[in-house]
Amino acid sequence: MSYRNKTYVCFDGDEDIRYYRMMTAWKANDNLPFDFHDAHDLNTARDSSQEESIKRQLRVRFENSKTFIVLIGQKTKSLRKFVKWEMEVAVKLGLPIIGVNLDGSRGQTALCPAAIFNTLSVYIPFNLKIIQHAMNHWPSEHATKSKAGESGAFYYKDSVFQQLGI
């Protein structure tokens, strides 16, 4: 069993990759209080033309992940191949899911993909401070809520945003 300390980030590679790149830029900037162990740093598919080869490499990333972030953009819910599969695997593995709304919403919206719609997840806007807060706190909150049999969408109260200066 591998040590799970990574954050798996799922996103629409055609439309929303700039948001993922922004997260990696925040991480690389020593002047910003943002850090995560990116599961995408683990490996790359040797034969990116073969679906099973890609999924095999993605499974390795899942094995090392403790948190699953899905960047929710305008087209995320309509994606049927890898993004949907990644969300289904995260749910099956019971990973704490953080839905990051690229439209700035603070809760679950109509853009939420069906694969995670009724799962135990927290929803936040795309913002450095709240993403870091969720990565730091949601895994333990998820474990507590899961153990208590809770499910569905959660969100942070306005007071959390105020404490973070957002």
Mean pLDDT within 1-14: 76
Structure tokens at 128: 């450095």
* CA pair distance 83, 70, nearest whole angstrom: 9
123 φ/ψ angles, rounded to the nearest 5 degrees: -120, 135
The average confidence (pLDDT) of the chain is: 86
Structure-model confidence comparison of residues 99 and 35, the more confident one: 99
According to the model, what pLDDT value does residue 30 have? Answer: 86
Render pLDDT for 62-73 as a digit per residue (tens, 0 to 9): 676 789 999 999
pLDDT digits (tens, 9 = 90+) for 53-95: 666 666 666 676 789 999 999 999 998 888 898 899 899 989 9
C-alpha to C-alpha distance for 70 and 65, rounded to whole angstroms: 13
Contact 124, 100 (CB under 8 A): yes
- Note the pLDDT tens digit of each residue in 129-151: 999 999 999 999 999 999 999 99
Q: Are strands 97-101 and 6-10 parallel, antiparallel or unpaired?
A: unpaired
User: Residue 155: pLDDT above 70?
Assistant: yes
Core vs surface per residue 31-52: b (16+ CB within 10 A) or e: eeebebbbbeebeeeeeeeeee
pTM of the predicted model as reported, rounded to 2 decimal places: 0.87
Per-residue pLDDT, 98:
98
Which candidate, 157, 76, 88, 161, places its Cα nearest to that of 118? 88
Q: What is the pLDDT of residue 39?
A: 46
Nearest residue to 99 via CA among 144, 156, 161: 156
* Banded model confidence at residue 42, pLDDT cuts 50, 70, 90: very low
Q: Can you give the pLDDT at residue 147?
A: 96
